[in-house]
Amino acid sequence: MALFSAGADRTQVFFAREAGSPMIWLNTYDRRTGAAVFDLLRGGADFTLVVTDVPDWKRDMTPWRAPSPFGGTLAGGAEVYLSRMTEKLAAIEAQLPAPPCWRGIAGYSLGGLFALYAALTLPLFSRVASVSGSLWFPGILAYAQQHSLVQGAYAYFSLGEREARTRNRVLRTVEEQTSSLVVLLRGRGARTAFVHHPGGHTSDSLSRTAAGLAWLLDAPHA
């Protein structure tokens, strides 16, 4: 493991055993998440895991300003954060003996929203996992209709079975919005999965995250 710092961002890198192995970037709000997820996947496919503790979750993981379903406003700083992240990605890859054979990006909750936004915005990531992703976010479906994943992309989505069962009229759109995104991306040729887990939004976040990464690593898929 190595530690990189740039501004307020704190990034851990769990290096693959073999040169040229895949790389997955995971944005989190808890620095313990990366090590726990990597341990869950240890012994499986070889890969480099990059984990960043995001300094301002509600600002850096939201693509544009929007009302928060909990009150107030989400700041919409994802574009700036993505630029900072790609600079750090170049520095990390310079430490590798060979470039990764592919790059993926993953996240939970707002991190899952950002993962999809990043994969739609830049051709850096050919695999994306939006785990219990906050895809209720206003405008993300329209953004996906106007932007595309790279050709041959893999896209994994998951939700808890109870996530849409809420009185909050914004949050309860998450099932419909996620389903619409899966249909859209599948229609454009992306290989997709949409998995439902028991529980609500916060249930078993580590195992759900590990399951999303494992799906990305378990290629090829039918």
Round to whole Å and give the CA distance between 76 and 60: 7
Q: Is pLDDT of 30 > 90? A: no
User: What is the SS3 assignment for 173?
Assistant: helix
Q: Is pLDDT of 200 > 90? A: no
The residue extents of the domains of the chain are: 2-217
Specify the fold of 2-217.
Answer: Rossmann fold (3.40.50)
Bridge partners, 3 (sequence order): 12
What are the residues whose beta carbons fall under 8 Å from the beta carbon of 210, sequence distance 6 or more?
Answer: 37, 40, 41
Round to whole Å and give the CA distance between 201 and 18: 35
Please write the tens of the pLDDT for every residue from 85-142. Answer: 999 999 999 999 999 999 999 999 999 999 999 999 999 999 999 999 999 999 999 9
Q: Is pLDDT of 40 > 80? A: yes
**Averaged pLDDT of the chain:** 93
Determine contact, residues 178/152, Cβ cutoff 8 Å. no
Q: What is the pTM of this model?
A: 0.94
